[in-house]
Amino acid sequence: MFKKYDILSRIEAEGKFTISASQIKEYREPRLMAKFDHNINLPRIFARNRLAILPISRGDYIISHFEAYQPFSSVDTSVTRVSLPPNLQSLSASHIPSEAIAVNCALASGMLADFLEEETLYATVSGRMGSGQFDFTIRNLRTQCPTEVAVSNSQIEIDAALEGVHSLSLLEAKRDLAEDFLVRQLYYPFRVWSSRVTKQVRPIFLVYSNGVFSLYEYEFQDPNAYNSLVLVKHKNYSIEDTAIGADDLHDVAEGTQLLQEPEIPFPQANSFERVINICELLSTQELSREQVTEEYAFDIRQTNYYTDAARYLGLVEKRYEEGRKPVYSLSSRGKRIMQLSYQQRQLAFCEAILQHRVFRETFKLYMENGSLPDQNTIVSIMQQSDLYQIGSMSTFVRRSTTVSGWLNWMLGLIGEEH
């Protein structure tokens, strides 16, 4: 497509390139071509040339060196406990299989009223709708200058809209953990409804993972500037009891039997939160490697690393379809763990980690000394643990960051909720 329409040269000459849905459809479904929710999902030619794509009408898109994504920044790690009304039977904190159910739980539990500081909230204008017309500027990554963009009746989608006495809050909800998000998902709805109501319009991002609801409120300091958003508020909530103490981890370590190392590569997946997220994504259906990569914030390499990490712990299984295409599903152990309460689920994950000698020995050193050992010590433990297919010292060093990353996740469980 880039070659046929000489897109790179046109962008170099004109600063941007407009492409129609019919042109895109010659190669791929337009909705897939324009649905890159995270920077890491961008095709190689986009990433290599620092390009992004935005819809500007019902059938047209614009490609340029846009700064289209914003990193997430968590400013508060504490968790506030809330509860669902006791008379509700159709919502359960232990079964939140979709973004819509996550939003419903957030509303029913009162966390959204607390976060938004609105006593009463009414669900209003969610779903798909036309954008109407508006113009904005967006930063060009090459020139660092603003580029003007005109939008005319593009399609937007709002996961939830909650109106209170003082404000209208527009929610974008996700169940996958990511390092960034596509600002358009907040900006287009913000522009549409800022022109239709006189109340304050508040862009809100809700991320649900592993029993914790993370809410982020943003503000566009210049309503006409796509890149003017700033984080003004962040708070974490849980419907379940999240309190875990040091004694709980000690008991798991003492009561866990060591396993023989599996014939699966030792993990290179530093974020244990994302290992859990893989299990969450597989809790409702099996997924191919391509589905994991396309739908969530992974590239192919990360998909391999994190699914292998979950397989290493016995949480996920892999089978092959025709053409040797891998498909992933939760193992029986993974299914059992994902049905547990928050506390028991975290401790079951800790048990799965501590069944492997490297993690057990490193954790024992933490318990003895009050701090994790240095990288050289971790590498030494790894070298004595008969790990599968690790030969070079550089690989030992690289994989040692997984050990410290996972144990830091465990230690981060210790704390008090509010």
Strand-strand pairing, 79-81 and 229-238 = parallel
Q: What is the pLDDT of residues 139-160, one digit of tens each?
A: 999 999 999 999 999 999 999 9
Q: How confident is the model at residue 297 (pLDDT cuts 50, 70, 90)?
A: confident
Q: Report the alpha-carbon distance of residue 86 to residue 71 in Å, rounded.
A: 37
> Over the Cα atoms of the chain, what is R_g?
23
Q: How confident is the model at residue 418 (pLDDT cuts 50, 70, 90)?
A: very low
Residues 6+ away with beta carbon under 8 Å from 240: 93, 94, 211, 341, 342, 343
**Residue 169: what pLDDT?**
99
Residue whose tokens read 């880039």: 2
Specify the CATH architecture of the domain 246-412.
Orthogonal Bundle (1.10)
Task: State the chain's mean pLDDT as an integer.
Answer: 93
**Residue 32: what pLDDT?**
66
Percent of the chain with pLDDT over 90: 78
Question: Which of helix, strand or coil describes residue 23?
Answer: helix
Q: Report the alpha-carbon distance of residue 38 to residue 243 in Å, rounded.
A: 32
Question: Residues of 202-230 as b/e, b for ≥16 C-beta within 10 angstroms?
Answer: bbbbbbbbbbbbbbbbbbbeeeeebbbbe
Question: Which of helix, strand or coil describes residue 160?
Answer: strand
pLDDT at 54 over 60: yes
Give the residue with greater pLDDT, 178 vs 31: 178
How many CB atoms lie under 10 A from the CB of residue 316? Answer: 23
List the chain domain ranges: 68-72+123-238, 246-412
Q: How confident is the model at residue 13 (pLDDT cuts 50, 70, 90)?
A: confident
Q: Report the alpha-carbon distance of residue 295 to residue 282 in Å, rounded.
A: 12
Question: Which of helix, strand or coil describes residue 239?
Answer: coil
Q: What is the mean pLDDT of residues 110-134?
A: 96
**Are 303 and 197 a contacting pair, CB within 8 Å?**
no
Whether the model clears a pTM of 0.75, i.e. scores above it, the answer is yes
**Residue 95: what pLDDT?**
84
Q: What is the mean pLDDT of residues 128-146?
A: 96
The end-to-end CA distance of the chain, in Å, is: 53
As a residue count, the chain comes to 418
pLDDT at 183 over 70: yes
**Residue 272: what pLDDT?**
97
Q: What is the mean pLDDT of residues 332-341?
A: 95
**Most confident residue range from 16-30, 120-134, 236-250:** 120-134
